[in-house]
């Protein structure tokens, strides 16, 4: 039986490319749904080249910007972050994802949790339609924000992050603390603000786009609760004191920075997240 390249299949292939999925993963999905390899490759080549010829592929990507990063050029095992030597555990180039070890001491983790606990409320996410905030079923944690420089431990950590990631402290949003109980999760999302959403221009007035995220693990669950990067099949284990850093140089899925917090299966997970903006965050 020959396999037909239908208009629906062509449309699906174009959508996958537009969503930033690399050809290998599109091919893998097609093989998994029963397409023979030769037909799948031909369908992808024919569809994407004719799509490009029609000019539809000329859709402009947002321009790239400079992003924070640690100085890892000489593949160091440790980085001097001013008041603390931070361990480099894993480094991925594209997408840029770095796992750091021992970024925080146990005492700092405990202090942040103790300061946050009485101020927790059900987590809100930015309402992209309006630029305000809303409760969202994709995010079943509870959390709070510290203001920048609010206490000794917060100031110390902010200075350490600025030095580690070579990015001004003032470009950081206030530190956010999140608490996940068993069953709580954060479904995969991008941290940048979607340029096509109507609320985005308002959000950008406070310091431009988000360009990087660092998620720091303050208390580890017994099972589950890893930070997932579905586009690259990566799960970062939520080990206390460690952190995962990732950057995105344009607000677009081509950055492959889709990420989520997997459901906590046992125990409790506490994290601190710092989002870094292009410019001073007011």
Angstrom distance (rounded) from CA 162 to CA 282: 17
CA separation, residue 194 to residues 150, 209, 250 (Å): 29, 9, 10
Query: Does the footprint of Zn ion cover residue 173 (CB under 5 A)?
Result: no
Query: Does the footprint of ligand PD2 cover residue 271 (CB under 6 A)?
Result: yes
Structure token pair of residue 190: 């991008």
Structure token pair of residue 53: 């010829």
Question: Which span sits near ligand PD2 by CB under 6 A: 12-20, 108-116, 165-173, 256-264?
Answer: 256-264
Query: Does the footprint of ligand PD2 cover residue 213 (CB under 6 A)?
Result: yes
Angstrom distance (rounded) from CA 179 to CA 238: 13
Query: Does the footprint of Zn ion cover residue 169 (CB under 5 A)?
Result: no
Angstrom distance (rounded) from CA 253 to CA 44: 19
Site for ligand PD2 in 146-205 (CB under 6 A): 178, 186, 191
Angstrom distance (rounded) from CA 133 to CA 114: 25
Residue 38 CB, shortest distance to ligand PD2, in Å, is: 39
Residue 221 CB, shortest distance to ligand PD2, in Å, is: 10
Query: Does the footprint of ligand PD2 cover residue 261 (CB under 6 A)?
Result: yes
Nearest one of 190, 172, 188, 186 to 252, comparing CA atoms: 190
Residue 185 CB, shortest distance to ligand PD2, in Å, is: 8
Burial call 61-76: b when 16+ CB within 10 Å, e when fewer: eeeeeebbbbeeeeee
Q: Looking at the DSSP assignment, which residues form a beta bridge with residue 180?
A: 269
Q: Which of 227, 242, 255, 257 binds ligand PD2 (CB under 6 A)?
A: 227
Q: Write the binding mask 189 to 228 for Zn ion: x where contact by CB under 5 A, - elsewhere.
A: --x-------------------------------------
Binding site for Zn ion (CB under 5 A): 191
Binding site for ligand PD2 (CB under 6 A): 178, 186, 191, 213, 215, 227, 259-261, 271, 273
């Amino acid at each position: 039986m020959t396999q037909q390249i239908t208009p629906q299949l062509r449309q699906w292939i174009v959508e996958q490319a537009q969503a930033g999925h690399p050809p290998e993963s599109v091919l893998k999905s097609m093989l998994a749904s029963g397409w023979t390899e030769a037909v799948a490759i031909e369908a992808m080549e024919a569809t994407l080249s004719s799509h490009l010829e029609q000019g539809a592929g000329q859709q402009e990507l947002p321009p790239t910007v400079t992003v924070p990063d640690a100085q890892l050029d000489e593949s160091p095992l440790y980085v001097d972050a001013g008041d603390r030597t931070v361990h480099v555990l894993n480094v991925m180039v594209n997408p840029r994802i770095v796992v750091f070890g021992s970024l925080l001491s146990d005492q700092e983790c405990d202090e942040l949790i103790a300061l946050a606990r009485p101020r927790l409320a059900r987590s809100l996410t930015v309402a992209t339609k309006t630029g305000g905030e809303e409760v969202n079923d994709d995010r079943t944690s509870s959390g709070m924000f510290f203001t920048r420089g609010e206490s000794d431990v917060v100031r110390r950590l902010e200075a350490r992050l600025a030095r580690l990631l070579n990015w001004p402290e003032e470009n950081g949003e206030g530190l956010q603390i999140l608490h996940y109980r068993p069953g709580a999760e954060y479904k995969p999302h991008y941290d940048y603000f979607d340029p096509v959403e109507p609320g985005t221009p308002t959000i950008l007035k406070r310091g431009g786009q988000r360009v990087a995220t660092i998620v720091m693990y303050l208390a580890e669950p017994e099972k589950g609760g890893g930070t997932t990067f579905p586009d690259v099949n990566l799960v970062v284990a939520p080990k206390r004191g460690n952190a995962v850093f990732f950057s995105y140089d344009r607000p677009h899925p081509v950055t492959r920075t889709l990420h989520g917090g997997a459901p906590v299966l046992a125990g409790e997970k506490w994290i601190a997240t710092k989002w870094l903006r292009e410019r001073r965050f007011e």
